[in-house]
């Protein structure tokens, strides 16, 4: 199965989700001075959402920096977003932003660090997704 790339802030919710998922994943660093991962296989991006009440700032700056590199961006095939349902319309909105900018599907949304049902659904969904995924171009623009 191709890979996962994820971003997790200091809160660690996304990192906990990835650990429970138990699949190989590369982490986008929190600190801008740390080196970015260099995936060599197609990947699904898992990212939390950060937004004001209008949805601005939904995608973390480090995720934008990661996707601004054409070689990395060319390998994205889908996005999974996390968020907090208490933020209403902006819940997991980073997924929609990345999806629109990179022309990839939003595969799933989960709250905070996810539930056991989210873990099971994402594992099963990724297996089906990668089995059906054709080889080809992906994103041509960054968020």
**Domain boundaries, given as residue ranges, for the chain:** 3-132
Q: What's the chain's length in residues?
A: 143
Structure tokens at 91: 């819940």
Run means of pLDDT, 10 residues per run, the chain, 143 residues: 86 93 95 94 93 74 95 96 81 90 95 92 93 59 38
CA distances from 140 to 36, 75, 106, 133, 134 (A): 19, 10, 16, 18, 17
In the CATH scheme, what is the code of domain 3-132?
Answer: 3.40.50.360
Q: Give residue 7's region: left, alpha or beta (phi > 0; psi -120 to 50).
A: beta
Give the pLDDT confidence score for residue 92 in this predicted structure: 85
**Assessment of whether the complete model's pTM goes beyond 0.85:** yes
């Amino acid at each position: 199965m191709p890979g996962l790339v994820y971003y997790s802030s200091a809160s660690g919710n996304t990192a906990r989700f990835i650990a429970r998922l138990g699949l190989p994943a590369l982490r986008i660093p929190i600190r801008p001075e740390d080196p970015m991962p260099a995936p060599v296989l197609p990947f699904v991006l898992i990212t939390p959402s950060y937004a004001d009440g209008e949805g601005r700032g939904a995608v973390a700056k480090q995720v934008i920096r990661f996707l601004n590199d054409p070689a990395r961006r060319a390998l994205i095939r889908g996005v999974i977003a996390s968020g907090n349902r208490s933020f209403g319309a902006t819940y997991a909105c980073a997924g929609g932003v990345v999806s629109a900018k990179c022309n990839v599907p939003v595969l799933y949304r989960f709250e905070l660090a996810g539930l056991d049902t989210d873990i099971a659904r994402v594992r099963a969904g990724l297996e089906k997704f990668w089995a059906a995924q054709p080889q080809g171009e992906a994103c041509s623009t960054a968020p």
